[in-house]
Amino acid sequence: MTLQIAIVLAVIVFLIVFLFKEYLRPALTFVIAITVLILTGILSPEQALSGFANEQLVTIMLLLTIGNVIQKTSFNEFLFKQVFSGVKTKRGFLARMMFSVAGISAFFSNTPLVALMMPNVYNWCKKNNVSPSKMLIPLSYAAILGGCATLIGTSTNMVVNSIAVKRGLPSLEIFDFFTVGFPMMIIGIIFLLIFGDKLLPDNDVVSEGFEKSSREYLIETLVSPRSVLIGKTIEEAKLRKLEDLFLVEIVRGEQKMSPVSPDERIQSDDRLIFTGKTEAVADFVRPIEGLELPQAAELGDQGNMDVAEVIISQNSSLAGKKIKNTDFRAIYNGSIIAVHRNGVKLSGKIGDIFLKPGDILLVLSGSDFIKRASVGQAFYFIDKIREYNTVDVRKVGILITGLILAVGLEAFGVMDLFSSLVILLILIVTLKISDFPTIKNSIDFNLLFIIGLGLALGEAMRVTEADKLIGTGFSIVTEPMGVYGLFMSLFLVNNILSSLITGKAAVMVMFPVGLPIITALGIDHVPFVLLMAFSASANFLTPIGYQTNLMVYGPGGYSFGDFFRIGLPLTLLYMFVCVVILMYTFNLL
């Protein structure tokens, strides 16, 4: 093994560990990895940046951007009312939700779709006294199942296709995924309808105007110099008997006191850290006597203010930053008053907490918070607190018709998808359906960096022949199992890796490993490319492997075990159906 191969393997290990442990943001992790490959002479700057010129990469960005434009038209409100009007039973709602979401996600990016649907599903659960934990994993899984059915249904499929094109293989067509994706969409939904209620938890996280939520937040309060509590003990101040609130810590300067003694006397400028349920924390907008929110959480007199519940997105610009360094109030005209991290005990000052994807925030929102929050993708709303505008039929009609036409032109070979989407984007700006600043803010630059630099990693594996070295070892292990065993093994390894570090990162590693094996066996590249796409996209095992799973993780009050319990049988079912159909379709049996 040469030094260059050793360096490439070390970079791959670095990526897997740092992405799984979340030591750094994913985009920065890829930047460091590719920088090492440039500095060691394995890649030239031109090779490292060549991935950004990939047509498939730009197409992904265009699809996501147009999807975000549609998201901001209030079309989801109209769609939800039309599709779900009159549904009262839990099973009826679940069936209609999954089939409609899966069908739409085959042609629209599933992440914006789940962001559109989640507040509506959550509020339907509130009105019908159904636990969201019975609905939110099926919402995410339905979007994943539908997204796997076409090339454009999920960005992961397009990433795999872009890697294939980068390797000199022909690009796949939109409906090449349908042979496996559509049957598995139906089978997967039927599986969830039959077994979902038994395998999913019944968590009491339904919030009725912040009145029934069992989700616990960390909130910080301040003892002002004029507080009537100064000099009193915790017991005398009756701070140990607050309903639905528990005093977990006192921060006094640099000193932290936990657990808090009932005889501890309160001093000026003490910061009292409580944990409590949503409704109790929301009441701190009107603090109890003697305590107040820190100045950083005050918005001043802005008339009617509200408390919004939001979740940090996977590629959020807020992730990895301390709350006090986010400039949240200036950017969004809102203040973070409390934080919840599913299954993790938080402590210390709110401002010193580093935000992570999946964190749920209670935000004291100012007058134009909704308008500001709609720009970009830093977080998604959980509870529907916003007032939606009337749907502009003309705008929505142009967007939906344009996207369907773009897909149709690609499917019939009239015009490639990239050109159609560029024309549609020009029409969006020209007809003032959206403006350029809004479109610019909708671009996911973190994803752009991950895909572009991920392609460079594949190039490094190719030029050093690290892909052949790993592939040889993999083929030795799987050779006794034949082609069927090889495909099963590739699916499982790629799927497990995707569950830990996301599908887009996993295929950057596994595609170069599998391709030399397939080439050596003389197998058509198409079933292999499809296998890589399905195994990376059908991500049901963990909440961290796929954005939509992460989005429902906290709001549903789920644990990792909840995803594994229902995700493992669904994954094994998907693997079996996928491999059998691919081998039968391409005469590999």
CA angle 273, 279, 281 (to 5 degrees): 20
* DSSP 8-state class, residue 108: S
Same domain, 317 and 413: no
How confident is the model over 137-144, as a mean pLDDT?
A: 96
Same domain, 317 and 220: yes
Same domain, 223 and 198: no
- Among candidate residues 361, 381, 401, the one where a domain is terminated: 381
Number of structural domains the chain divides into: 2
Same domain, 237 and 271: yes
Handedness of CA 484, 485, 488, 491 (dihedral sign): negative
Bridge partners of 381, per DSSP, are 310
In a domain, 41, yes or no: no
Residue 151: name the closest of 527, 407, 390, 402 by CA: 407
- Among candidate residues 381, 400, 420, the one where a domain is terminated: 381
How confident is the model over 215-224, as a mean pLDDT?
A: 81
Q: Is the pLDDT of residue 192 over 90?
A: yes
pLDDT value of residue 206 = 40
In a domain, 550, yes or no: no
Q: Would you call the peptide bond into 516 cis, given omega within 30 degrees of 0 as the criterion? A: no
> Rounded to an integer, what distance in angstroms lies between the CA atom of residue 109 and that of residue 350?
34
Which range has the worst mean pLDDT, 238-242, 515-519, 542-546? 238-242
In a domain, 366, yes or no: yes
Whichever domain contains 264, its CATH number is 3.30.70.1450
> Can you read off the two tokens belonging to residue 18?
């740092």
> Can you read off the two tokens belonging to residue 352?
């010193």
Query: pTM higher than 0.85, yes or no?
Result: no
| Higher pLDDT among residues 105 and 108, named by residue | 105
Same domain, 404 and 364: no
CA angle 407, 413, 417 (to 5 degrees): 40
In one letter, which amino acid is 226? R
Query: Please, which residues have CB within 8 angstroms of residue 553's CB and are 6 or more apart in sequence?
Result: 342, 358, 543, 563
> Rounded to an integer, what distance in angstroms lies between the CA atom of residue 52 and that of residue 456?
9
Q: Is the pLDDT of residue 490 over 90?
A: yes
Matching residue, tokens 């029409």 = 427
* Buried residues in 256-291 as b, exposed as e (16+ CB within 10 A): eeeebeeebebeeebbbbbbbbbbbbbbbbeeeebb
Specify the DSSP element, H or E, that contains 31: helix 26-39
pLDDT value of residue 387 = 41
In a domain, 481, yes or no: no
Q: How confident is residue 500, by pLDDT bands cut at 50, 70 and 90? A: confident
- Tens-place pLDDT, residues 511-542: 999 999 998 888 999 999 999 999 999 999 99
pLDDT value of residue 351 = 85
Which residue range forms the structural domain that includes residue 367? 216-381
Bridge partners of 336, per DSSP, are 363
* Buried residues in 192-221 as b, exposed as e (16+ CB within 10 A): beeebeebbbebebbbeebeebebbbbbbb
Taking a C-beta distance cutoff of 8 angstroms, is the pair 563, 137 a contact?
yes
Report in angstroms the alpha-carbon separations of 504 from 16, 163, 169, 508, 509.
Answer: 12, 10, 19, 7, 9
> Rounded to an integer, what distance in angstroms lies between the CA atom of residue 192 and that of residue 567?
10
pLDDT value of residue 230 = 92
- Tens-place pLDDT, residues 264-298: 999 998 988 888 776 666 665 555 677 877 655 55
In one letter, which amino acid is 460? A
Taking a C-beta distance cutoff of 8 angstroms, is the pair 80, 117 a contact?
yes
pLDDT value of residue 388 = 40
Same domain, 293 and 348: yes
> Rounded to an integer, what distance in angstroms lies between the CA atom of residue 74 and that of residue 327?
28
Same domain, 283 and 397: no
> Rounded to an integer, what distance in angstroms lies between the CA atom of residue 292 and that of residue 226?
11
Handedness of CA 105, 315, 156, 537 (dihedral sign): negative
Which range has the worst mean pLDDT, 107-121, 198-212, 328-342, 421-435? 198-212
Q: How confident is residue 398, by pLDDT bands cut at 50, 70 and 90? A: confident
Edge-first strand order for the sheet with 271-277 is 255-257, 245-252, 271-277, 216-222, 334-340, 360-365, 306-312, 379-381
Categorise residue 384: left if φ over 0, alpha if ψ from -120 to 50, beta otherwise: beta
pLDDT value of residue 194 = 95
> Rounded to an integer, what distance in angstroms lies between the CA atom of residue 233 and that of residue 265?
4
Q: Is the pLDDT of residue 137 over 60?
A: yes
Query: Please, which residues have CB within 8 angstroms of residue 166's CB and are 6 or more apart in sequence?
Result: 51, 54, 455, 458, 459
CA 3 to chain centre: 37
In a domain, 49, yes or no: no
Same domain, 350 and 399: no
φ/ψ of 127, rounded to 5, equals -70, -30
Same domain, 239 and 128: no
Same domain, 307 and 258: yes
Q: Is the pLDDT of residue 216 over 80?
A: no
> Rounded to an integer, what distance in angstroms lies between the CA atom of residue 533 and that of residue 518?
15
In a domain, 547, yes or no: no
How confident is the model over 232-253, as a mean pLDDT?
A: 83
Report in angstroms the alpha-carbon separations of 343 from 217, 226, 358, 526.
Answer: 11, 37, 11, 42
In a domain, 510, yes or no: no
Residue 137: name the closest of 560, 536, 576, 537 by CA: 560
Same domain, 242 and 355: yes
Same domain, 270 and 376: yes
Handedness of CA 126, 131, 133, 139 (dihedral sign): negative
- Among candidate residues 350, 381, 412, the one where a domain is terminated: 381
In a domain, 26, yes or no: no
- Tens-place pLDDT, residues 348-382: 888 888 898 888 888 877 777 877 776 667 888 77
> Can you read off the two tokens belonging to residue 333?
């005209």
358 exposure class (CB count in 10 Å sphere: 0-12, 13-18, 19+): buried
